[in-house]
Amino acid sequence: MIRRPDRGPLRNLDGTTMTSFLHSADWQLGKPFARIADEEQRGRVQRERLEAVRRIGDIARERKAAFVVVAGDLFDSATPKDATISHALAAIGSIGVPVYAIPGNHDHGGPDSLWERPFFRRQREAVAPNFHMLLERQPIERDDAVILPCPLLRRHEPDDPTTWLRRWQPGSGDERPRIAIAHGSTRSFGGATLGNSVDGEEAGQANAIELGRLPLDQLDYIALGDWHGFLKVGEKAWYSGAHEIDRFPKTDQLPGHVAAVTVTRGGMPDVEALPTGKLRWLRHEVALGEDGPTLLDRLLRESTGARYDDCLVELVLSGAVSLADRSRLDTLLDDWRAGLVRLDLDDQVRLLPSDEEMRSLTERSDPIISRVAAELFARKDAGGDEAAVALTAIRLLHGLCHDVDGAAATPTKGAPR
C-alpha cells in the first residue's frame, strides 16, 4: 500500500501522505510538589517529569515518529526558574525529532512571556534547535503535515482559541494531513466540561474549545491538552494526558501516557496510548479491625511490589484497633513512610483498648499508675473533647508501661545476674 520515496514523507498509493507522530501535553515542569515534605523525594518527583520527556524521545525513535506535538502547559508556571528552563530544553533536545508546542494557561504566551526571554531563546538555540514554540495562530507547513497551532496568549482567554480554524482556507488539492493543537476544556463531550477543573485551577468559562464548531472535515486530528488523562473527546480529538502522573487518581482517567498517532488526509486517525510515566500514585481506603494492621501491610506490599520506592500512596484509614495494634500500626506506617516516595495519611482509626489491656493498667501494682489509668478510662467513657485527650494519654501510658516491662524482662548487657 505504501511506497517509500527516497526523500520526503511516506505516501499512500492514492497520493495522500501518511504521517506518524506523538502527541503529549501538560508536562508542568517545575511543579513544586510542596506537599512532599522530604526535599530529596520532592526533587526526585520533579526530575522524573524531565526523564519522562526523554522517554517520549525513546518512543519517538522506536515508532519512527516524524515529530512530536505538545499541547500546552510545558511549564507549571509562566515564570519558571532559569534552571527549570535549561533542564527542560536539554530533555527536549534529546528527543531528536522536531517538537512543536503551544503555550497553555500555566505557561501562556503574550508580551513579556517566558518564551520571549533572552535566556530561553539563547538556550533553545544552543541545546534544543528542534524545539518550535508556536506563538501565532497560523499554519506551519511541513512536507508531511500542516500543523495548526491554537496557542493561549493569556492565562484565561475569553474567546475560543480555535476560532481562527473556522475561517481557515486550506489550499485546494493539498493532501497533507492537518493537525490542530489546542489547550483548554472541551464542551461538546456529552454536555460535560472537561479540562480546567482537573488542571489545578478553575478558569471558569475561559479557555473553552467548542469542538462542534470546528470544520471537522477539513481537519484530521485535534491534539488537546489540559485534561491530565488520555481521553478521546471527539471523532478526531484526543487529550493525551500528562506524560508523568502528578496527583492521586480521582477518576478512571489514564495519565502517564503519550499518544502515538497515525493520520492521513481525509481519513480517521489511528491513536494508541503508550506508557511514559514511571512513578505510581496509589490510593487505598482501609478499615482496620481485629487483626490490626496485618491486612494493611499485605495490601501495601502487594500493590507497590518490588519497586515500592517508585510509589506515592494516599492512605485513608478507619476502623478501630487495640493499644498494642495501634503501636504496631505506627511502626508499620513509619517503615512505609521511609520506603515510599510519599505517604499521605488520613488517619481516622479509633483506639479501642481491649479488656485485657485495660486491666493491665488499672490493676497494676504501682498504685499511682493504676489510679491514673482508672481516671483516664472514666474520662474516655464520658465522651466529648476530654475523651480524645484521655485516649491519647492512655496510649502514652500503655507505651511507657510496655517499655518499662520490656526493659525489666531484658537484662541489660553487662548487668550482674
- Only segment of 46-54, 132-140, 224-232, 399-407 that touches Mn ion (CB under 5 A): 224-232
Name the residue whose CB lies closest to Mn ion: 199
Evaluate whether 106 touches 75 at the Cβ level (below 8 Å): yes
Among 319, 320, 302, CA closest to 311: 302
- Only segment of 15-23, 121-129, 222-230, 357-365 that touches Mn ion (CB under 5 A): 222-230
Of the pair 21, 27, the CB lying nearest Mn ion is at 27
Closest contact distance (angstroms) between CB of 85 and Mn ion is 18
24 binds Mn ion (CB under 5 A): no
244 binds Mn ion (CB under 5 A): no
Single out the residue of 144, 157, 220, 226 in contact with Mn ion (rule: CB under 5 A).
226
Q: Give me the helix-helix angle, 294-304 and 323-339, nearest 10°.
A: 20
Residues in the interface with Mn ion (CB under 5 A) total 5
109 binds Mn ion (CB under 5 A): no
Among 278, 224, 248, CA closest to 46: 278
Of the pair 120, 227, the CB lying nearest Mn ion is at 227
- Residues 210, 187: Cα–Cα separation, whole Å: 6
Of the pair 12, 197, the CB lying nearest Mn ion is at 197
Provide the phi-psi class of 226: left if phi over 0, else alpha when psi is between -120 and 50, else beta.
left
Q: What does 292-337 look like in DSSP terms, one character per residue?
A: BTHHHHHHHHHHHGGGGGGEEEEEEEEEEE-HHHHHHHHHHHHHHH
- Residues 134, 179: Cα–Cα separation, whole Å: 13
157 binds Mn ion (CB under 5 A): no
Closest contact distance (angstroms) between CB of 104 and Mn ion is 4
48 binds Mn ion (CB under 5 A): no
Closest contact distance (angstroms) between CB of 107 and Mn ion is 9
73 binds Mn ion (CB under 5 A): yes
Of the pair 73, 325, the CB lying nearest Mn ion is at 73
The helix/strand/coil state of 375 is: helix
Of the pair 73, 246, the CB lying nearest Mn ion is at 73
Closest contact distance (angstroms) between CB of 72 and Mn ion is 6
Chain residues 170-209 in contact with Mn ion, contact rule CB under 5 A? 199
Closest contact distance (angstroms) between CB of 357 and Mn ion is 53
Among 187, 275, 269, CA closest to 233: 187
**CA angle, 276 then 278 then 280, to 5°:** 125
C-alpha cell recorded at residue 367: 498504685
Calculate Rg over the CA atoms of the chain.
29
Single out the residue of 30, 93, 103, 104 in contact with Mn ion (rule: CB under 5 A).
104
Element (H, E) at 179: strand 178-183
**Cell 482537573, residue?**
198
Closest contact distance (angstroms) between CB of 61 and Mn ion is 28
C-alpha cell recorded at residue 266: 481525509
- Only segment of 101-109, 116-124, 274-282, 342-350 that touches Mn ion (CB under 5 A): 101-109
- Residues 358, 351: Cα–Cα separation, whole Å: 12
Closest contact distance (angstroms) between CB of 313 and Mn ion is 26
105 binds Mn ion (CB under 5 A): yes
- Residues 214, 5: Cα–Cα separation, whole Å: 33
Of the pair 105, 262, the CB lying nearest Mn ion is at 105
- Only segment of 121-129, 221-229, 282-290, 342-350 that touches Mn ion (CB under 5 A): 221-229
Residues contributing to the site for Mn ion (CB under 5 A):
73, 104-105, 199, 226
